[in-house]
Structure 1
Amino acid sequence: MGLREDLERYRAVGEERRQDLAEFIQYGDLGQSRQDEVRIPIKIVDLPEFAYDQRDTGGVGQGEGAEEGDPVGQPQPQPGDGDEDGEPGEEGGEHEYYEMNPEEFAQELDEQLGLDLDPKGKKVVEESEGDFTDITRTGPSSTLDFEHLFKEGLKRKLAMDFDREFVREALKVDGWGPATVFDWARDQHVPVSKAWLEETYDEIDDAEKATWDSIEEMEANVERTDTAARIRREGVDQIPFRREDERYRYPEIVEEKERNVVVVNIRDVSGSMRQKKRELVERTFTPLDWYLQGKYDNAEFVYIAHDADAWEVDREEFFGIRSGGGTRISSAYEVAMERLEAEYPWSEWNRYVFAAGDSENSSNDTEEHVIPLMEQIPANLHAYVETQPSGNAINATHAEEVGRHFRDAGDVAVAYVSSPEDVVDAIYEILSTEEEDA
Structure 2
Amino acid sequence: MGLREDIERFREVGEDRREDLSEFISYGDLGGSGPNSIKIPIKVVDLPKFEYDRLDQGGVGQGKGGTPDVGQPVGQPQPGDGDEDGDPGEEGGEHEYYQMDPEEFAQELDEELGLDLEPKGKEVIEEIEGDFTDVTRSGPHSTLDFERLFKEGLKRKLAMDFDDDFVREAMKVEGQDAQSVYRWCRERNILVSLPWIEDAWTKIPDDERGKWASFEEMEENVERSTTLQRIRRDGLRDVPFRREDERYRHPEIIEEKEKNVVVVNIRDVSGSMREKKRELVERTFTPLDWYLTGKYDNAEFVYIAHDAEAWQVDRDEFFGIRSGGGTRISSAYALAKEILDEQYPWAEWNRYVFAAGDSENSSNDTTENVVPLMREIDANLHAYVETQPGGTAINATHAEEVEKALDDQDNVVVAHVSSPEDVIDAIYTILSTEAE
Q: TM-score, normalised by structure 2?
A: 0.79
Unaligned runs of 5+ in 1: none
Task: Find the counterpart in structure 2 of residue 231 from structure 1.
Answer: 231
Q: Is residue 35 of structure 1 aligned with residue 35 of structure 2? A: yes
Task: Find the counterpart in structure 1 of residue 422 from structure 2.
Answer: 422
How far, CA to CA, are the matches of 1:267 and 1:429 in structure 2?
19
3-state DSSP class of the match of 2:311?
A: strand
In structure 2, the CA distance between the partners of 1:231 and 1:336, relative to structure 1 (3 Å rule), is farther
Task: Find the counterpart in structure 2 of residue 300 from structure 1.
Answer: 300
Task: Find the counterpart in structure 1 of residue 245 from structure 2.
Answer: 245
How far, CA to CA, are the matches of 1:176 and 1:290 in structure 2?
92
3-state DSSP class of the match of 1:404?
A: coil
- Does the 8 Å contact 1:366/1:398 carry over to 2? no
Task: Find the counterpart in structure 1 of residue 312 from structure 2.
Answer: 312
- Does the 8 Å contact 2:333/2:374 carry over to 1? no
In structure 2, the CA distance between the partners of 1:293 and 1:59, relative to structure 1 (3 Å rule), is same
- Does the 8 Å contact 2:173/2:214 carry over to 1? yes
3-state DSSP class of the match of 2:407?
A: helix
How far, CA to CA, are the matches of 2:193 and 2:312 in structure 1?
84
Task: Find the counterpart in structure 1 of residue 104 from structure 2.
Answer: 104
- Does the 8 Å contact 1:80/1:89 carry over to 2? no
3-state DSSP class of the match of 1:203?
A: coil
Describe how 1:132-143 pairs up with structure 2 within 5 A.
Answer: 132-143=132-143
Task: Find the counterpart in structure 2 of residue 289 from structure 1.
Answer: 289
3-state DSSP class of the match of 1:76?
A: coil
Instruction: Give a deviation string over 1:2-41, Cα, whole Å, max 9, x none.
Output: 9998777666544443321111111222222222222223
Given the alignment, which residue of 399, 403, 420 partners 1:400? 403
Of the structure 1 ranges 362-371 and 157-166, higher mean CA displacement relative to structure 2 is found in: 362-371
Letter in 1 for 2:376: L
CA apart distance, 1:335: 2.7
In structure 2, the CA distance between the partners of 1:363 and 1:100, relative to structure 1 (3 Å rule), is closer
Number of residue equivalences: 422
- Does the 8 Å contact 2:162/2:190 carry over to 1? yes
Given the alignment, which residue of 62, 80, 85 partners 2:66? 62
Task: Find the counterpart in structure 2 of residue 148 from structure 1.
Answer: 148
- Does the 8 Å contact 1:57/1:75 carry over to 2? no
CA apart distance, 1:59: 5.6
Unaligned runs of 5+ in 2: none
CA RMSD of aligned residues (A): 4.0
Describe how 1:39-438 pairs up with structure 2 within 5 A.
Answer: 39-45=39-45, 56=60, 61-62=65-66, 72-73=72-73, 75-77=75-77, 89=89, 91=91, 93-120=93-120, 130-205=130-205, 208-252=208-252, 259-319=259-319, 320-329=321-330, 331-346=331-346, 348-359=348-359, 362-365=365-368, 369-374=372-377, 377-379=378-380, 381-392=381-392, 395-396=397-398, 397-401=400-404, 404-406=407-409, 409=410, 412-436=412-436
Instruction: Give a deviation string over 1:275-303, Cα, whole Å, max 9, x none.
Output: 43332221121111112223334432111
How far, CA to CA, are the matches of 2:165 and 2:247 in structure 1?
35
3-state DSSP class of the match of 2:302?
A: strand
How far, CA to CA, are the matches of 1:97 and 1:248 in structure 2?
57
In structure 2, the CA distance between the partners of 1:178 and 1:11, relative to structure 1 (3 Å rule), is closer
In structure 2, the CA distance between the partners of 1:73 and 1:103, relative to structure 1 (3 Å rule), is same
- Does the 8 Å contact 2:262/2:352 carry over to 1? yes
How far, CA to CA, are the matches of 2:80 and 2:105 in structure 1?
37
How far, CA to CA, are the matches of 2:146 and 2:324 in structure 1?
75
- Does the 8 Å contact 1:166/1:222 carry over to 2? yes
In structure 2, the CA distance between the partners of 1:207 and 1:358, relative to structure 1 (3 Å rule), is farther
- Does the 8 Å contact 1:262/1:299 carry over to 2? yes
How far, CA to CA, are the matches of 1:77 and 1:119 in structure 2?
64
CA apart distance, 1:165: 2.5
Letter in 1 for 2:153: G
- Does the 8 Å contact 1:261/1:296 carry over to 2? yes
Aligned sequence identity (%): 65
3-state DSSP class of the match of 1:182?
A: helix
CA apart distance, 1:158: 1.6
How far, CA to CA, are the matches of 1:2 and 1:372 in structure 2?
66
